[in-house]
Structure 1
Amino acid sequence: MTTLHGEHTAGLGRPLPPEAVRAELAKADHRAGLTLATLGAALAALLTAIAVGVITPTQYAAIPQLLLWTGCAACAPSLVLLSLATRPHPATTADTPPQLLTRTTHVKHRRIRQAMTWGAAFLTLTSAGTLAGLLS
């Protein structure tokens, strides 16, 4: 397994120190929160544009509508994965085993990567659908 910085964590003969694991867990929490806020802002902007009438998907041709609504549907798994990644982690007391923190960090990073993939699909498909609809 590699971290976000490209460092290999699995396969090393020695585990990371607890302080490094806690720092990596804090970075994962911050990244998940920031990504969730960004995706929420993008979704809010899209919904506002549709509600105000700047974007009128019902007047688009079939293919642009399909792209736009498929992109909107791709936002749901991203939001779910990011909300799961922002769930509170176990209490980081001195008695917390570093293996539990390491596992929690890996799970958070995996969910963030998957959510970013779904988020990229959301942005790509909705942008393509909106542009294609405006040009048609």
Structure 2
Amino acid sequence: MEKAKLELVVGVFVLIGIVCLGYLSIKLGKLEVIGGRNYTVFAEFTSVSGLKSGASVEIAGVEVGRVKEITLKDDRALVALAIDEGIRLYTDTIASIKTRGIIGEKFMALSPGGGGDPLKPGETIRDTESGLDLEELVSQFVHGNVK
């Protein structure tokens, strides 16, 4: 009887540990188990080199969403952005790909306008700025093509 009681206690502790690890994985990975309260807008770029799905979308350094998906549309990259529901974007918003530090991770920075009409879910941000490709810049410097 003592052995069964000990096994039961150990089993409960292992189960609690697994639940805690699952919770931490979801929180630290910033995953959404159930659909969050956000809407999707799109942005087209000539290059999204280094940007990955799940990267943060920020306005003035504050996270307001995530990069949902990156696909190819014709010869341009189409980026789907999941923006928090309370954030209003306008047709004159500018989307830029930025880097944290010199060789840090890439993220999307939005500069909201205010003079245009509000962007509706599913619409596309027209003004975009691709990120700086450090590898290409070094290659141009080495080969003497810097302008």
Which TM-score tier does this pair reach, normalised by the shorter chain? under 0.3
Task: Kindly indicate which of the two structures has a greater share of residues assigned to helix.
Answer: 1
Q: Which has the higher contact order (CA 8 A, sep 6+)?
A: 1
Q: What TM-score does the superposition give when structure 2 sets the normalisation length? A: 0.23
Which structure's CA Rg is the greater one?
2
Bigger strand fraction: 2
